[in-house]
Amino acid sequence: MKNKKFETRAIRTQAIQSSYKEHSVPIYETSSFVFNTAEEAEAVFAEKKSGYLYSRYNNPNTDELVSKLCLLENAESGVATSSGMAAVFLSMGGILRAGDHIILSRHLFATTHLLVEQVLSKWGITHSYVKMNNPEKIVTCLLPSTRMIFVETPSNPGLEIFDLELIGKFSKQHDLYFVVDNCFATPYLQNPMKYGADFVIHSTTKFIDGQGRTIGGAILGKEKFMNDIITLSRMVGTTMAPTTGWLLSKSLETLSIRMERLCSNALSMAEYLENHPDIEWVKYPFLSSHPNYKLARKQMRLGGALVTFELKGGRPRAMKFINALKLFSITPNLGDTRTTITHPATTTHSKLSDEERTEAGITDGMMRVSVGLEHIDDLIEDLENAISYSKKD
């Protein structure tokens, strides 16, 4: 399958067919697996023979999902997890040790910030934040104990774009693990391992599922680095359920066509907002006004489904605007068929301090839209009506 196109790999990579000759892979909702003999059980446990033991370790459904994701991300190995944050945790907890230091982008999902500051710090792991597109600033954070660089691009919620090739070269030069949260881009829009990433993380809850139905995650990487991560996952039980693995594997079959439509809608929405007199600013990677527009065009196939913007009038008007929308779901989740909107300063990033939000570029009036599959004319009409309503006293 490696030589096939993205769409073919996403559809035709399947678990081994059973004796029933099913066309669609069944759900293997079982806690454990049986052996024909005691000797076979011994061989499988000793890893002298391949086979399934226990669904906390692996399962045909989650294995199928991981196989697809590895092909789509050009990875060698991976593990499906119970959530995106479980994957983030494994990428750090499976590699870092007490006394290690990690360099992170300032622009990260809020819970990743909290994981580093409130959990890893208790384990003696230190960290530094840096603006990732400036090699000179990255160098200033480099310590003898630095072992990892962690970035998210496009970032949540500010849609910052970071140069994966530049960071990949820097990581190799200084013998650092390079981890990329690729959740917003998906494997269809961006492949960080092409630029030197050692690990790629996904919250499969988002676009990979694409319909707001389940929670899951995945971490993919080079086989020689994945062993410790897979072992930790099996020990702590950050395991994806078989039904979830089946559902997400099916969802991958339509990822490409969904992302094409989502990105088309998002670009149209961003262009509409950019030309509206009541909009303070708008950010979208494939708008020429984005500060890293050329870089986004270089390393992304399309601009993604996220748009951030601010109405003139700051937070009070933003709240009034959000409440006036009819077609937009007010929810912290994203990557759905339905368009969603959130106010990061009071929801997803509310646990950060005012200073931390400012450094991450999160203003009090910023709104994050995950554009869905509704007709773009209807979405723009809803935006226009809500903007007009928010003007009223």
Q: How far is CA 252 from CA 27, 108, 188, 257, 259, in A?
A: 16, 25, 10, 10, 11
Model pLDDT for residues 51-104, shown as the tens digit of each residue: 999 999 999 999 999 999 999 999 999 999 999 999 999 999 999 999 999 999
pTM of the predicted model, to two decimals?
Answer: 0.94
State the DSSP code for 119: I
Could you confirm whether domain 6-252 is CATH 3.40.640.10?
A: yes
Model pLDDT for residues 239-292, shown as the tens digit of each residue: 999 999 999 999 999 999 999 999 999 999 999 999 999 999 999 999 999 999
Model pLDDT for residues 157-166, shown as the tens digit of each residue: 999 999 999 9
Locate the domains of the chain by residue range. 6-252, 256-391
Model pLDDT for residues 191-245, shown as the tens digit of each residue: 999 999 999 999 999 999 999 999 999 999 999 899 999 999 999 999 999 999 9
The pLDDT of residue 186 is above 80: yes
Could you confirm whether domain 256-391 is CATH 3.40.50.300?
A: no
Higher pLDDT, 350 or 153: 153
User: β-strand 146-152 against 177-181: which pairing, if any?
Assistant: parallel
Q: For residue 107, how far is the Cα from the chain centroid?
A: 14
Q: Mean per-residue pLDDT for 182-197?
A: 97
Q: Mean per-residue pLDDT for 138-161?
A: 95
**SS3 (DSSP) at 117:** helix
Contacts of 324 (CB under 8 A, 6+ apart): 385, 386, 389, 390
